[in-house]
Amino acid sequence: MEKTACARCLVLSLLGLGVANPAMANGYHAVIESSSPVSHIQPSEAHDRTGYSRSAAGGLGDSRRIVQPEFQDYVRSAPSALAAWYARQADPSLGAAHEVSLALDLSSDLTAAQRNALGTYGPWLTSDGLSGNAQQLIRAIQNAYVHGLDADSYFLPQILRTVDTLTHLDKPDTQADHLAHSVHLPDTDTLRNDLSALMSRAFMRLATHLGQGVVDARATQRELYRDVPRVEAVSLLESVSLGHVSAAGALDSVTPKHADYQRLTWRMRDLLTERSSGIERIVIHGLDELSTGSSDDEVMEVRFRLVETGDLPLNTVMSTVFDDTLHVAVKQFQQRHGLRTSGIIDRSTRNALNLTIDEEIAAVALSLERWRWMPRELGDKHLYVNIPDYRVVFRDTGQTRLSMVAVVGAVEHQTPSFSREMTYLEFNPTWTVPANITNAELIPLERRQPGYLVSRQFDFFKRVDNSLVSVAAADITEAD
């Protein structure tokens, strides 16, 4: 049996919070900052710089945050690598030295080369305190939220508390001696060495997560037929130690440079700014569809919500009538969120408008992770299929030249994910139905609905002497 099918060319599956730069002086004391993102959020200029896929924006259940318990509950049910990413390594009641040793002991996820590098490369400390590379690393960890990552996963609390402890130990007074004895701290040199090793591990982990993702892409997609990014964390650490590159430069070199990834980090910054403000989003009530000409109090709620999203200006005239201006704004919102651009408030659009801040933060975080699985170079001219968004896009030198709806496989028949150079394009190709699909799906369907295959323009063939010979549908018997 053969059937006309769509051409498939290139399929790439797709699936943040800025910090104020601290004034870091010489010595240890200048780096003490809270790891909480709220105090470091910088205001954003716009609220419409999105880039996450429709599937990421919905259907996430309780996977709602970067910092709140609901998101940790979600990742604990995910693959073990992601669960380990959020595991807490420290017991604050045991003191800084114990926290450092505990973090260093958790080396089951390190390669032998990485374990050796912990004690070999140490570009983090000088005789005066923290080096410039150490300050850059701490800032990068504090800024991990902009990438949808948890700063605590890179030992930020342990690092800052150990720095604070070293600050007290370096003071030539009896109070420091008392502190050391009271928590059984080792001598300063030992603690410095442990801190250096801890920062090396934090650097390698952050570089790996930024460069190739927290979760192994191959563990999440059984139909993955493309290379995934790989980070040589030990080599990066060695380059920083030898002065070939700064810590900030090394981390930047492995971070995705795609425009969509950058837009997602901007969106994450906006969302965290919004959450820190404490302002609650407008909720759109009701279940009826709204379109041009509708008149309802719910239309007013839609207007207020679209002002919040930036799709309507602040000086919008508020009215209960659904006019052309609102129609255009709704289409703009739908386009940015991967929805059908109908200009109608249907169920999917209402759900997207009613996403909570934490749900949207989780959606953006997951989209950022998917982008970290992507090839770093897509080429000036490329096609990609955003599988969750059901859309194929052609881009030329950064500009979208074509965007159209694509047909993708259902959950039980996942579309393969691959990246290849396209040398030709065939329109309306035939598709020979595999025997397993014929036997398991099409034949039972034809028995339930006689004439179904003909109505769907299937052609029938039989094999004669290793050749396919066309058979008229009328000649097909139940025995066949």
Residues 70, 168 within the same domain: yes
* Predicted local confidence at residue 47, as pLDDT: 35
Gap between the Cα atoms of 457 and 126, Å rounded: 75
Gap between the Cα atoms of 212 and 228, Å rounded: 7
For residue 292, CA distances in Å to 312, 324, 340 come to 16, 7, 16
Res. 345: pLDDT tops 70: yes
Res. 26: pLDDT tops 50: no
Residues 331, 206 within the same domain: no
* Predicted local confidence at residue 177, as pLDDT: 52
Res. 262: pLDDT tops 70: yes
How many Å is the Cα radius of gyration of the chain?
Answer: 28
* Predicted local confidence at residue 44, as pLDDT: 32
**In this structure, is residue 3 part of a structural domain?**
no
**In this structure, is residue 480 part of a structural domain?**
no
Residues 303, 217 within the same domain: no
Residues 296, 256 within the same domain: no
Among 295, 327, 346, the domain boundary falls at 346
Q: What is the pLDDT of residues 448-474, one digit of tens each?
A: 888 888 888 888 888 888 888 887 766
Which pLDDT band holds residue 322 (cuts at 50, 70, 90)?
A: very high
Gap between the Cα atoms of 247 and 251, Å rounded: 6
Q: What average pLDDT score do residues 354-379 get? A: 87
Residues 319, 449 within the same domain: no
**In this structure, is residue 72 part of a structural domain?**
yes
Nearest to 299 by CA among 281, 328, 264, 323: 323
Which pLDDT band holds residue 31 (cuts at 50, 70, 90)?
A: very low
Cα angle at 140 between 88 and 127, to 5 degrees? 95
Q: What average pLDDT score do residues 197-208 get? A: 93
Cα angle at 364 between 362 and 368, to 5 degrees? 115
Ranking 33-37, 140-144, 200-204 by mean pLDDT, the lowest is: 33-37
In whole numbers, what is the pLDDT of the chain averaged over residues?
72
Q: Quick one: tokens of 29?
A: 């004391």
For the chain, the domain total comes to: 3
Gap between the Cα atoms of 447 and 423, Å rounded: 41
Among 346, 363, 389, the domain boundary falls at 346
Which of the residue ranges 161-175, 247-261, 414-428 has the most confident prediction, judged by mean pLDDT? 247-261
Residues 310, 442 within the same domain: no
Please return the burial class of 335, using the count of CB atoms within 10 Å of its CB with bins 0-12, 13-18 and 19+.
middle
Res. 20: pLDDT tops 90: no
**In this structure, is residue 105 part of a structural domain?**
yes
Residues 340, 459 within the same domain: no
**In this structure, is residue 389 part of a structural domain?**
no
Q: What is the pLDDT of residues 120-141, one digit of tens each?
A: 557 898 877 889 999 999 999 9
* Predicted local confidence at residue 141, as pLDDT: 96
**In this structure, is residue 423 part of a structural domain?**
no
Identify which has the larger pLDDT, 108 or 322.
Answer: 322
* Predicted local confidence at residue 35, as pLDDT: 32
**In this structure, is residue 159 part of a structural domain?**
yes
* Predicted local confidence at residue 302, as pLDDT: 93
Please return the burial class of 464, using the count of CB atoms within 10 Å of its CB with bins 0-12, 13-18 and 19+.
exposed
Residues 211, 253 within the same domain: yes
CB 82 within 8 A of CB 75: yes
Among 346, 364, 382, the domain boundary falls at 346
Domain that holds residue 437: 433-475
**In this structure, is residue 11 part of a structural domain?**
no
* Predicted local confidence at residue 479, as pLDDT: 56
Phi, psi of 173 (to 5 degrees): -140, 165
Instruction: Collect contacts of 280-285 with beta carbons under 8 A, ≥24 apart.
Output: 281/305, 281/308, 281/354, 281/356, 281/357, 282/308, 283/354, 284/345, 284/350, 284/353, 284/354
Q: What is the pLDDT of residues 182-196, one digit of tens each?
A: 444 456 778 888 888
Ranking 146-160, 241-255, 365-379 by mean pLDDT, the lowest is: 365-379
Residues 254, 107 within the same domain: yes
Residues 195, 326 within the same domain: no
Residues 49, 184 within the same domain: yes
CATH number of the domain bearing residue 295: 1.10.101.10
Gap between the Cα atoms of 17 and 196, Å rounded: 26
Residues 257, 150 within the same domain: yes
Q: Quick one: tokens of 219?
A: 């563990």
